[in-house]
Structure 1
């Protein structure tokens, strides 16, 4: 298997359950990793998953506010598979930095692993 990934992509977005989160937003850190068959060397971009394409999908998904981070990671995995049918496994981890919980917490996290 061949792994293609983006690590620690940073976004300011407006995901959150509470009204103030949809107004002021928060900082999010996104990790995306996908695996495709890798039995032969790849020498053309059309034979792999373009990590620029992963970023474009992530940017578009992050731009649409959702109340739950779970919705975001599911939408992202679905969009990745739709654009890149060769993907056989994906892991998407989304961190909300400094979640508004009234405590000193670096981040909350939702992570989804899918086999296709």
Structure 2
């Protein structure tokens, strides 16, 4: 299956189980891989034959910046469900959400989750 990638998209949001995450917010990094047949687009050179990654970006941004969840697992699930609804040609999605600076005492680069979903 062909793939569309959105790499290291960064947004400011208020998701987290700790109270300070809901008050101060933080940067979330999102990586998305959409599995879709790109044969028609590779032949036609027409935007309507592909998935408009600008619209995918806007969908992800809307959820990260305008909603609030305790768990980034829930945030990722909502994003994946919305992407499947908006883009019928997408057959599978891998979505990774990373927090660079959660309020956890210790030394690490980041924490995050990754969902892999296939269209039901």
**TM-score clears 0.5:** yes
Paired positions, count: 116
For the aligned residue pairs, the C-alpha RMSD in angstroms reads 1.1
For residue 83 of structure 1, report the CA deviation from its aligned partner: 0.6
More deviation in 98-107 or 22-31? 98-107
- Unaligned 5+ runs, structure 2: none
Paired residues for 1:11-22 under 5 Å: 11-22=11-22
The offset of 1:55, in angstroms, is 0.6
Q: Is 1:38 paired with 2:34? A: no
Contact kept in structure 2, 1:98 and 1:104, CA below 8 Å: no
TM-score relative to the length of structure 1: 0.94
Tell me the TM-score normalized by structure 2: 0.91
- Report the CA distance between 1:2 and its aligned residue: 2.0
Extract unaligned runs of 5+ from structure 1. none
1:86 shift after superposition? 0.7
Q: Is the 8 A contact 2:93 2:118 kept in 1?
A: yes
Q: Which moved more, 1:1-10 or 1:33-42?
A: 33-42
Moved over 6 A (4+): none
